[in-house]
Amino acid sequence: MEQFKDIMKGAMLIAKKELAGYFSTPIGYIVISVFLVIAGFLFFSTFFLYGQAELRAYFELLPLLFAFVIPAITMRLFSEERNTGSFEMLMTLPLSTVQVVTGKVIAATVFASIMVAPTLVYAVSVAFVGSLDVGPVIGGYLGAVLLAASYASIGVFASSMTKNQIVAFIIGFAICIVLSLITKFLYFISPKIVSLFEYISADYHFQNIARGVVDSRNIIYFTSVIVLSSMASIYQLEVRR
């Protein structure tokens, strides 16, 4: 426990610095704006086109949106450091690779949560217009944070592999898009392995939670993705030196 506190202390210092970094350049604001415009469009298109006040369309497409936006958030986290050389300083500080990776994942997750938070306004507007089912909203936002953390871990891993941010983005995007879309191809697949594909699909687990049913399997899935990706990042940092 004491050890865990020590690890988190170092990780939080990295997280704090990275989070401040997001807002010290226009990039952070640009990413948030782009996300909110698209999310707003998704929400209001069902609102006006079908006269339905609900968050379903928004949550339905959130994994796809995240697959695109989150690798853009994480791409710089290690690549930029490798590119400018600050990586050398970072790696010679008295921090473990666990702390560094955890800190960066936390920063990206918190940033993504800040990005998503304004969409709560949609939920409030739905509550005004029609009847709001609270369960799916809570589930949806909890799921959004878990999904963000998972994709952030994947994105950080992609970033740890290369000094080129564009390459980091493409790798992260490729992995996340597969996890987001894999269940969409289930029609072509024999029913026997459907459940396997469902199990590895982030979209499947997210949609479960977003329906308001939080199953331990879903939580275990996201936790596994976060832990495995972070371990892969740590391996990258340890081995490539």
Partner 1 sequence: MISVRNLVKHYGEVKAVNGISFTIRKGEITGLLGPNGAGKTTTLRILTGYLQPTSGIVSVDEFLVDENPIEIKKRIGYLPESAPLYPDMMVYDFLQFMADIRQIYDKEKIKDIAIQCGITEVMHKNINELSKGYKQRVGLAQAILHDPEILILDEPTNGLDPNQIVEIRDLIKELGKEKTVILSTHILQEVEATCNRVIIIDKGAIVADDSTSELKSASGKDIRINCIIGGVTFDAIQDALKNLQGIKLVQHIRDAGQLCHIQILTEASVDLRPAVFNCIKDNGWTLYEMTREYRSLEHVFRELTVGV
Among 26, 51, 94, 191, binds partner 1 (CB under 8 A): 94
Q: Is 17 in the site for partner 1 (CB under 8 A)?
A: yes
Using the rule CB under 8 A, is 5 a contact of partner 1?
A: no
Cα atoms found within 13 Å of the Cα of residue 101, Cβ hemisphere only = 25
Residue range at the interface with partner 1 (CB under 8 A); choices 21-29, 46-54, 113-121, 179-187: 21-29
Q: With CB under 8 A as the contact rule, which of the stretches 12-20, 48-56, 137-145, 203-211 interacts with partner 1? A: 12-20
Site membership for partner 1, residue 26 (CB under 8 A): no
Residue 10 touching partner 1 (CB under 8 A): yes
Tell me: does residue 85 bind partner 1 (CB under 8 A). yes
Choice from 30, 37, 93, 117 touching partner 1 (CB under 8 A): 93
Q: Which of 3, 48, 92, 128 binds partner 1 (CB under 8 A)?
A: 92
- Which C-beta is closer to partner 1: that of 88 or that of 215? 88
How many chain residues touch partner 1 (CB under 8 A)?
20
Nearer to partner 1, 52 or 86 (CB): 86
Q: What is the SS3 assignment for the chain?
A: CHHHHHHHHHHHHHHHHHHHHHHHCHHHHHHHHHHHHHHHHHHHHHHHHCCCCCCHHHHHHHHHHHHHHHHHHHCHHHHHHHHHCHHHHHHCCCCCHHHHHHHHHHHHHHHHHHHHHHHHHHHHHHHHHCCCCHHHHHHHHHHHHHHHHHHHHHHHHHHHHCCCHHHHHHHHHHHHHHHHHHHHHHHHCCHHHHHHHHHHCHHHHHHHHHCCCCCHHHHHHHHHHHHHHHHHHHHHHHHCC
The verdict on 98 binding partner 1 (CB under 8 A) reads no
Least distance (Å) between residue 156 CB and partner 1: 18
Assess 6 for contact with partner 1 (CB under 8 A). Answer: no
Residues near partner 1 (CB under 8 A) are 10, 13, 17, 20-21, 24-25, 84-89, 91-96, 241
